[in-house]
């Protein structure tokens, strides 16, 4: 029978080495994502829209008649997730689906007048959230941070569960 001291020693030998989460970029990226969503929701609370819903509305506004598959790729979501996002936006009367004349299986997406109004109304609040995310950095570092973020996302895009076209 092992004594308690020997058991503790065995656990330490078989345990992975201690890792400081403060040294892990993934940990900070996850935390920044949480913060970004919280700030977005604080600023846009009156509009009842999530960051993903905003991205979908903005993309459909920029690309009227986009199909769901292309929308998913444009904003880096899988097709099943985008389907539920589009369902919710359509149920709120913000998006409308129509059949493609070229392929009857494809549904094309367009903003409704209500969707356009919501997008216009949420835009200043969304921009304020983005400014709050970057506010702790000096202006020159904000641009550099955005450049580095784009580099990381672009270089790692293909390993994503839902690579984007961007």
Give all domains of the chain, ordered by start, each with its CATH number.
Answer: 23-128 (1.10.10.10)
Whole-angstrom distance, CA of residue 152 vs CA of residue 72: 20
Segment 102-114, tens digit of pLDDT: 887 888 999 999 9
Segment 27-53, tens digit of pLDDT: 999 999 999 999 999 999 999 999 999
Model pTM? 0.85
Kindly give the pairing relationship between strand 95-99 and strand 66-67: unpaired
Give the per-residue pLDDT at 164: 82
Give the per-residue pLDDT at 123: 97
Query: Considering just the CA atoms, what is the radius of gyration of the chain in Å?
Result: 22
Please answer whether residues 59 and 110 qualify as being in contact, where contact means their C-beta atoms are separated by less than 8 angstroms. no
Give the per-residue pLDDT at 106: 85
């Amino acid at each position: 029978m092992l004594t308690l001291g020997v058991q503790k020693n065995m656990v330490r030998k078989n345990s992975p080495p201690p890792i400081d989460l403060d040294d892990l970029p993934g940990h900070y990226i996850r935390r920044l994502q949480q913060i970004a969503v919280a700030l977005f929701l604080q600023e846009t609370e009156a509009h009842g829209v999530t960051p993903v819903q905003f991205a979908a509305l903005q993309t459909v506004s920029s690309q009227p008649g986009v199909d769901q598959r292309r929308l998913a790729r444009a904003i880096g979501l899988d097709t099943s997730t985008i389907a539920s996002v589009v369902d919710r936006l359509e149920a709120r009367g913000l998006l409308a689906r129509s059949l493609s004349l070229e392929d009857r299986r494809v549904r094309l997406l367009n903003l409704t007048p209500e969707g356009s109004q919501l997008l216009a109304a949420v835009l200043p609040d969304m921009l304020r959230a983005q400014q709050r995310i970057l506010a702790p950095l000096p202006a020159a570092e904000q641009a550099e941070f955005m450049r580095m973020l784009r580099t990381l996302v672009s270089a790692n895009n293909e390993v994503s569960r839902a690579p984007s076209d961007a």
